[in-house]
Amino acid sequence: GSTGSRIILSLIHALKRTGGTKGVAALCIGGGEATAVAIELI
């Protein structure tokens, strides 16, 4: 699916809306595994 893309885009939009510059999106990929993405707006 596109859940990962949607979460990252939601984070970027929230950062722009609130004036933030840094954020982290965490995703569970099942089986006890996960990944995280750090975003910095420049």
Per-residue model confidence as pLDDT tens digits over 1-42? 788 899 999 999 999 999 999 999 999 888 889 999 999 999
Tell me which residue range forms the domain holding 35. Answer: 3-40
Whole-angstrom distance, CA of residue 17 vs CA of residue 12 = 9
pLDDT of residue 35: 93
Q: How many domains does the chain divide into?
A: 1
pLDDT of residue 6: 95
Selection from 26, 21, 19 nearest residue 4 by Cα:
26
Task: Name the pTM for this structure.
Answer: 0.82
